[in-house]
Chains A and B, each alone.
Chain A
Amino acid sequence: MKKYFKFIFILPVLIMASCSEEFVTIPVQDASTSGNFFKSEVDVRAATAALYGSPWFQFNDKFNWAAGEELAGNLYHTWDQEGQFFYYSYNAGNAHIRSGWLSLYRVVAIASSIINDMPVFATAIPQDVQDRAIAEAKFARAVAYFILTEFWGEVPIVENVTAKVVNNEVSNPKNTKESIYEFIKRDLEFAASKLPLTDTPGRATQWSAKGYLAKTYLTMAQYYSKKDATKATEFFNKSKTIAADVIDNSGLKLMENYSDLFLMENNNNPESLFAIQFMQGSYSIGNSLQANFARSSLITGNTEAWGGGKCMTYDFLQDVNPNDKRKSAIYMDLGDVYPDINKANGGYKYFIVNRDPSDPNKVLEGASPTLNHLKKYVVGSAQDHPGKVSTGQATAINQYMLRLADVYLVYVEAAIGLGDNTSDGKALGYLNTIRNRAGLPAKTSVTFRELLKERRVEFGMESMYWYDIKRFFYRDQTAAVDMLSNQKREYVFDRDQSSTAADENTKAGYVLRIAGNNGVVPFNPANINVPIPASEVVLDPMLAPDVPAVDYNF
């Protein structure tokens, strides 16, 4: 017996052996799986909440304004890759084109997971809840594709991202613009039919979808204006009808005071139809535009202030009426005072040059090339707004994507339609409401070009003007190219060497210099779209410029 006694030590081996399969099955402990996530409506709402926040961040961080405002000739900024948009000298290697693209397609992917994958896992969730979630996802997807096609032109439509990846269908053709507009229209129509009339402020409603639908029809109408007048007219009319529906029936209304639109406490105000939802905290969940636009640390309270050299172009300034109430909300000009910024020191007063009072040799803030600095989306420091601003380039100001004012002006443009101007009473009523808020006199008739100018200022630094120029380009390429090529972009101010030191804070102390190529940057119509990023073409050669786009198979 004693001899075999020692064998009992081998027993654990036999015991362990029997349970090994169980031993090596370990469920995930710190996350849900898609399979067990969707238990109730709350979970579905948590999934759709993703459509409003950080997936848009990379798009908004640089591309939205660098492309949106510089291509359009509103923003003077010539530096590095951001400045390439100012000169139309970007190419497929541009970093911001790439991150804008990836960000928009991330929105597409998240929408796709809600549209296609969620129903598979959410079998216990009522159909109407699912439908509403799908409608929110289709709305976000439509917005992403609208931006994609207006900037890149022809891009691939991907309905089910997971299926494409799993089936290794990783080379896809670009789709035609006609297909993309149709795709956007279908998504928005679905969204308009399933979204509620009201929801938690900030969430997409039926009115958000209809607002975008009006804008999409307007864009389509201009796109078809030279190709198919019947279709164009039909789309103008649809745009008008839907815009009127939103204006008259939504219960939404314009903010009384234009500058109040850009206060953080007015996030999701009744004028907002869709805005990217931002919060303070850390990088990628907050709005980074203050970091990009603010002139100096005196405004932001930290080093995230890279707007010292950014200003509105001389060309933009020419379109702003000196009495326009919108002016100081768009950019900072000599004498402007902002009580909300630098509150501890009684507010921020704008000087062309700001010297250290204790050491006049030390320039705290220098002059910009056009003697102004950016204001919109600049809100102040963490001290000014506790709980709403933090480092990590994060302010809690939402980024407007669609305002009711836009729908007003969409109606006006649709009313002009294929003609050159309109005196339509309803249209002028909408236009004059906007002008009245800006403190400008009413008009009795408006031309397309005048409307364009109105939009340029109304949405200044909201990255909307390039879309307007695109519609102009669709309806009259020659005129649009001519307008861009003659913008006074490189008109800059130099210190007048003959002047005295005392007048550095007067505009008289500076002289206008026409720099570069006679101050203009000629526009080549071939640049109307930005290129698909080189890194994408490398992975999917079907996206190369010389491979033709195909119609989408609906």
Chain B
Amino acid sequence: MRKLYLVLSLFFSCLAFAVGQKSITGNIVDQNSEPLIGVNIFVKGNESRGTLSDIDGSYTISAKEGETLIFSYIGFKTQESLIGTSNSIDVSMSPDALVLEDIVVIGYGQSKKSDLTGAVSSVSGEQLRTNLTTNIDQALQGRVAGVQVTQNSGAPGGAASIRIRGANSINGSNEPLYVVDGLPFTGNGASTIGFDWAGGANGQNRVNPLSTISPNDILSIDVLKDASATAIYGTRGANGVIIITTKRGKKGESKISYNTYYGLQTLRKKLDMMDMAQYADYNNQITRDLEITPDQRYADPSLLGRGTNWQNEIFTDAGSHSHQLSVVGGTDRTSYAITGGYFKQDGTVIGSDFDRISTRVNLDNKVKDWFKVGASLAFSKTSEKITLNDGGDGVIIQSLLTLPSVSVRDIEGNYDGPESQFGTNYNPVAAALQRNNTLSRQRLMANLFGDFTIGKGLVFRSELNFDNNHSVGKAFQPTYKWGVLENTENRLRQNEDNSFFWVIKNYLTYEKKLTEKHSITAMLGQEAQKSNYFGNSITVANLPSNDIQELVQGGTVIGNPGSYKGAQSLASYYGRFNYNFNELILATFTYRGDASSKFGPGNKWGYFPSGSVAVRLSQMEFLKNSSLVTNMKLRLGYGLSGSDNIGNNLFEPLMRPFQTPFGNAYVPGNIANPDLGWETTAQANLGLDLTVFKDRLDVSIDVYNKNTRDLLLQSNPPGYLSGIAPPFINIGKVNNKGIDFSLNSRNINRNKFSWNSDLTLSVNRNKIVELESDGKVYYRNLYWYSEFQTVTATTVGMPIGMFYGYQMEGVFKDQQDILNHAVQISDKVITETRPNGTNLVSKNQGVWIGDVKFKDLNGDGVIDTDDQTFIGNPNPDFTFGLNNSFNYGAFEFGVYLTGSYGADILNHTRSVLEGQTGIFINQASTVFGRAQFKYLDPNGSTTDPANVVLANPGTNIPRPTTNDNNRNNRMSDRFIENGSYLRLQTLRLGYTLPSSLTKRVKMERLKVYANVSNLAVWSNYSGYDPEIGAFNQSSLVQNVDMGRYPTPRMFTLGLDVDF
């Protein structure tokens, strides 16, 4: 057989020789000497004789001497090369400014970047991978102007919040719409069970919706920002659209790629808490201050060691590794891409982890000249384990509060626990390791399409997408005995959630060049989508053992097994019309109508038009031959998009059950609003794209003004009218205006050395323009924590979710200071001159020396709710990203900085760590600087206000007090901190081995790299990390640090191999 092959090939080569053909080979590189893959090479005048360059940039083609080869590649200037005697032609392609960013994916189609009239930003998969990430959203951080990405948690698989040009909705979600290969889904994260069902506050329980997708599969991401771009998505486009395109096969020899890395994560920063000796000293002081019997064990702090450092116990260095294998290839008619990956990440908090198995098959086939089909099938399974990490009952805050005198384990090796039930209520290490809280998700995403070319320029496309999700959440509370803490009843809760979403799209696209100068494109389409979901949850108690965490027999079912079932649907019609005049003036008009099942009869339909115009000034005579300006485009657009982002069936009153000894009782679940309708966002955008200095500098600036009206809000009447959930209403207006700026500079581009810089800057100003009435305020609380019931306030004239509370003026120095100040606790002795009485100066019942002095803002002589004000803004003035990449020969080096400026943080953890309300919990070292007493007569009374003065004026931390009568720990600017930061996001060094070396082992390419992410953060913030994000993605509770899982520092070594 082999012989035959040899003979045959010999025969054909002879034949080739006979007609003067010879084999030309060569390498094609770009301006950075990077190999260019997929360059189209053909013989001039005979386009059928062509080939493509391979993954190494090399090609082979048969041609005759004297013929000319043409090299063309999208985004680059086409080159010609005459074939001489040499059999080797190497080519260096230079970019073409005009078609620099080539094709951009927009809704229901594609567009040349140069033809765009709206604000669309693109990020290539290659760019994404330079910032090594576990999830796509992290990769976008700082990459796209106008897109603000914050990690809400550093937990593996934790959710991020993405805001495209600020928050539009007050109650509703502000997460954008994602479209992965035509399949739409929202960025609202799924939830884990959390632990409120077993007592305590839940903490964050949102997980990342994007974590089911492997970042390695991504070819490019396109972000639609302004209304002229998003309006085609109608109801779903109001928060912006992120279109993700995965890699597809190409014609040519199959390529095998293997990408892997190993990472080590460490905690970047620890908080400064008291050790045992310090705590003993502190305990002695406060028992003296509080006149409580001192604890004999603490009598001599110098004899005590450091005790348990609970932060060291709860945090750990954690590994992660990723493997991805892909095969890409194709023939004339069929191309394919098959990928498979495994990713595993342990958390830096013990007991937390995440892993993902993902596979994807993308297939394209040209069935007939007029008929093409394609399919994408992606399956992924993720498993994550969440330690309860946020909130007052989370293991992070509990590890800070647990006394250093408590050991992790007793002498027998069993978990120890606190000595008193008044302190922390568990052993954090035991809780992290024994209270399981897991979520396992399986997701199948599919896209099937057929393209029918009906006539010249007329294409009909039909698409079917579905998204099938199944998830199982489990939370387990074991039986245990940790010191004095004992639990004799174990419990397991299991939730199962299922959803099936499908969408059918049909649209017709018509392209026509009317005359030499006029051309049009028109698109008309229809779609229907529906999501069906159901689920159940069940709790069992008294399982036979802590080791069997399944719904097996032996346990008793607690309460009603819960279940839910529902569906939502959307029917839509849409169209787009593009007009192009001589590549000089471009215009786009879109129109979409949507009907949503979420609204009642008569309110279902919403209509969303948009229009935009662009002028390519660089095509005009006076600029056409400019050597300075190679591209200059001015864009102007306006349009509407909508939102129906609320629960189903809120327009009708529903009855909800709960258990009673009389059987199930039913209560109204909500007050209905039959008039509920669309929330609409109108946006105007003015943009300028500029390429200057011989294509060395690209600048893009967009200015936008967004008005959202008829907000879908849950009204909040006073509590005495809120016994039944208040209705959702359409009310109010929100304005977002801002600037997106991006700059791309090729600073140096010599033979072997190049240096590129990318800068993005996002500025957004958010303002509430209108609510039910001007005085209307929407408050948000932190659980039931009483002093944090009005943590944020949202009202007319202010940005969304402003921190709201009292202002601190210092701490009281002495009796006179208290008496002179506005009344904080009245002695209720009312006189003509003192209608509110005077401050009651008393150590146990009133205001005392060392208590916080709050500012009497309205000057009425009394400190009450009227003295609360806006004390901080969680919205940043601007966010930015700066990436510098350097290439020298086979070496590459990158430095990537991200930052945020001007946002405030509510450091809620400090209200506990410096709260000083308990004598059985640890405190921050800063508490040593708290208000200290000095007794004028050292032998005199400690409760006589005349005898007590503040020993350390100037302190900002009040005295300890176990029942906090003065409410020192109320929501005040005492806990507001500056959240500006600059983060060294990535430092990266890569090296590609010479191909002469790798080819010997049949490798096309071998690249090794080392990466450090989150190496350093420059910030004044005192907590773990100044990047807090939105609590469970709510835009009303942003930048509140309740013991957020800190984002780790990660060291990575990676390898990319192509065969």
Taking A9-B450, A78-B844, A158-B720 as given, write out 7 further A-B residue pairs in contact, using a Cβ cutoff of 8 Å, ordered by the A residue number: A16-B528, A24-B597, A30-B566, A32-B655, A277-B662, A534-B864, A534-B865
B564 within 8 A of A: yes
Shortest 7 CB-CB contacts between residues of A and residues of B = A109-B723, A95-B786, A49-B665, A20-B571, A50-B665, A53-B660, A106-B723
Option from B291, B426, B541, B657 in Cβ contact (under 8 Å) with A303: B426
Shortest Cβ distance from A7 into chain B, in angstroms? 7
Residues of B within 8 A of A512 (CB): none
B555 within 8 A of A: no
B425 within 8 A of A: yes
Residues of A within 8 A of B564 (CB): 30
B454 within 8 A of A: yes
A-B contact pairs, 6 of them (CB 8 A): A87-B844, A95-B785, A105-B719, A282-B539, A282-B559, A535-B719
Assess A33 versus B718: contact at CB under 8 Å? Given A21-B604, A277-B660, A526-B828. Answer: no
**For the complex, what is the distance from the CA of A102 to the CA of B421, rounded to whole Å?**
28
Assess A108 versus B660: contact at CB under 8 Å? Given A21-B595, A30-B564, A37-B655. Answer: no
Determine whether the beta carbon of B667 is less than 8 Å from that of A110: yes
Assess A10 versus B489: contact at CB under 8 Å? Given A21-B595, A277-B661, A526-B828. Answer: no
Residues of B within 8 A of A165 (CB): 671, 715, 717, 721, 726-727
Determine whether the beta carbon of A161 is less than 8 Å from that of B724: yes
**For the complex, what is the distance from the CA of A241 to the CA of B726, rounded to whole Å?**
43
Determine whether the beta carbon of B720 is less than 8 Å from that of A536: yes
Determine whether the beta carbon of B595 is less than 8 Å from that of A202: no
- Interface set, chain A 35-84, CB cutoff 8 A to B: 35, 37, 43, 45-50, 52-55, 78-81, 83-84
Determine whether the beta carbon of A540 is less than 8 Å from that of B199: no
Shortest Cβ distance from B366 into chain A, in angstroms? 16
Option from A46, A304, A381 in Cβ contact (under 8 Å) with B664: A46
Assess A535 versus B488: contact at CB under 8 Å? Given A12-B504, A16-B526, A26-B597. Answer: no
Determine whether the beta carbon of A156 is less than 8 Å from that of B488: no
Determine whether the beta carbon of A91 is less than 8 Å from that of B825: yes
Assess A381 versus B786: contact at CB under 8 Å? Given A52-B660, A539-B719. Answer: no
Determine whether the beta carbon of B963 is less than 8 Å from that of A84: yes
Interface pick from A188-196, A294-302, A409-417: A294-302
Residues of A within 8 A of B784 (CB): 95, 99
Option from A81, A88, A107 in Cβ contact (under 8 Å) with B786: A81
Residues of B within 8 A of A279 (CB): 659-661
Determine whether the beta carbon of A93 is less than 8 Å from that of B671: no
B81 within 8 A of A: no
Which residue of chain A has the shortest Cβ distance to B785 in the bound complex?
A95
Residues of B within 8 A of A31 (CB): 649, 654-656, 669
The proximity string for A residues 402-430 relative to B, scoring 1 for CB distances below 8 Å and 0 otherwise, is 00000000000000000000000000000
Shortest Cβ distance from B194 into chain A, in angstroms? 13
Residues of B within 8 A of A101 (CB): 719-720
Determine whether the beta carbon of B293 is less than 8 Å from that of A494: yes
- Interface set, chain B 624-662, CB cutoff 8 A to A: 648-649, 652-662
Residues of A within 8 A of B726 (CB): 165
Option from A7, A20, A92, A308 in Cβ contact (under 8 Å) with B420: A308
The proximity string for B residues 520-556 relative to A, scoring 1 for CB distances below 8 Å and 0 otherwise, is 0000011010100010000101100000000000000
**For the complex, what is the distance from the CA of A305 to the CA of B943, rounded to whole Å?**
33
Determine whether the beta carbon of A50 is less than 8 Å from that of B199: no
Option from B489, B673, B970 in Cβ contact (under 8 Å) with A93: B970
Assess A93 versus B569: contact at CB under 8 Å? Given A34-B655, A113-B668, A281-B559. Answer: no
Determine whether the beta carbon of B559 is less than 8 Å from that of A285: yes
A306 within 8 A of B: yes
Determine whether the beta carbon of A303 is less than 8 Å from that of B485: yes
Shortest Cβ distance from B842 into chain A, in angstroms? 8
Determine whether the beta carbon of B422 is less than 8 Å from that of A309: yes
Residues of A within 8 A of B655 (CB): 31-34, 37, 47
Residues of B within 8 A of A540 (CB): 718, 720
Option from B487, B596, B653, B825 in Cβ contact (under 8 Å) with A34: B653
B964 within 8 A of A: yes
Option from A12, A26, A105, A278 in Cβ contact (under 8 Å) with B506: A12
A119 within 8 A of B: no
Residues of A within 8 A of B657 (CB): 46
**For the complex, what is the distance from the CA of A156 to the CA of B721, rounded to whole Å?**
10
**For the complex, what is the distance from the CA of A301 to the CA of B573, rounded to whole Å?**
62
Which residue of chain A has the shortest Cβ distance to B293 in the bound complex?
A494
> Which positions in A face B, CB cutoff 8 Å?
3, 6-7, 9-10, 12-13, 16-17, 20-21, 23-35, 37, 43, 45-50, 52-55, 78-81, 83-84, 87-89, 91-96, 98-99, 101-102, 105-110, 112-113, 117, 155-156, 158, 161-162, 164-166, 168, 170, 200, 202-203, 267, 277-279, 281-283, 285, 296-297, 301-306, 308-309, 364, 381-383, 390-393, 396, 494, 515-517, 521, 524, 526-527, 533-540, 543
Shortest Cβ distance from B316 into chain A, in angstroms? 26
**For the complex, what is the distance from the CA of A296 to the CA of B452, rounded to whole Å?**
75
- Interface set, chain B 654-700, CB cutoff 8 A to A: 654-669, 671-673
Most central of B558, B567, B652, B662 by chain A CB within 10 Å: B662
Determine whether the beta carbon of A54 is less than 8 Å from that of B658: yes
Residues of B within 8 A of A48 (CB): 665
**For the complex, what is the distance from the CA of A223 to the CA of B991, rounded to whole Å?**
89
Residues of A within 8 A of B656 (CB): 31
Residues of A within 8 A of B715 (CB): 165, 168
Determine whether the beta carbon of B660 is less than 8 Å from that of A12: no
Determine whether the beta carbon of B506 is less than 8 Å from that of A391: no
B124 within 8 A of A: no
Assess A283 versus B970: contact at CB under 8 Å? Given A43-B666, A105-B719. Answer: no
Determine whether the beta carbon of A390 is less than 8 Å from that of B719: no
Residues of A within 8 A of B528 (CB): 16, 20, 23
Residues of A within 8 A of B785 (CB): 95
**For the complex, what is the distance from the CA of A109 to the CA of B74, rounded to whole Å?**
67
B198 within 8 A of A: yes
B197 within 8 A of A: yes
**For the complex, what is the distance from the CA of A513 to the CA of B567, rounded to whole Å?**
67
**For the complex, what is the distance from the CA of A308 to the CA of B943, rounded to whole Å?**
27
Residues of B within 8 A of A108 (CB): 720, 723
Residues of A within 8 A of B525 (CB): 13
**For the complex, what is the distance from the CA of A521 to the CA of B963, rounded to whole Å?**
15
B790 within 8 A of A: yes
**For the complex, what is the distance from the CA of A17 to the CA of B723, rounded to whole Å?**
43
**For the complex, what is the distance from the CA of A88 to the CA of B964, rounded to whole Å?**
13
Residues of A within 8 A of B460 (CB): 6, 9-10
Most central of A28, A46, A165, A382 by chain B CB within 10 Å: A165
Determine whether the beta carbon of B489 is less than 8 Å from that of A391: yes
Which residue of chain B has the shortest Cβ distance to A281 in the bound complex?
B559
**For the complex, what is the distance from the CA of A479 to the CA of B748, rounded to whole Å?**
92
**For the complex, what is the distance from the CA of A167 to the CA of B41, rounded to whole Å?**
73
B277 within 8 A of A: no
**For the complex, what is the distance from the CA of A34 to the CA of B669, rounded to whole Å?**
9
Determine whether the beta carbon of B719 is less than 8 Å from that of A102: yes
Shortest Cβ distance from B172 into chain A, in angstroms? 19
B993 within 8 A of A: no
Which residue of chain A has the shortest Cβ distance to B943 in the bound complex?
A517
Determine whether the beta carbon of A161 is less than 8 Å from that of B723: yes
Option from A46, A297, A381, A537 in Cβ contact (under 8 Å) with B663: A46
Assess A109 versus B724: contact at CB under 8 Å? Given A7-B454, A301-B486. Answer: yes
Option from B487, B724, B967 in Cβ contact (under 8 Å) with A302: B487
Residues of B within 8 A of A93 (CB): 786-787, 789, 967, 970
- Interface set, chain B 562-600, CB cutoff 8 A to A: 563-571, 573, 595-597
B414 within 8 A of A: no
Most central of A28, A101, A107, A304 by chain B CB within 10 Å: A28
Shortest Cβ distance from B495 into chain A, in angstroms? 15
Option from B567, B664, B827, B842 in Cβ contact (under 8 Å) with A29: B567
The proximity string for B residues 756-797 relative to A, scoring 1 for CB distances below 8 Å and 0 otherwise, is 000000000000000010000101000011110110000000
**For the complex, what is the distance from the CA of A304 to the CA of B426, rounded to whole Å?**
11
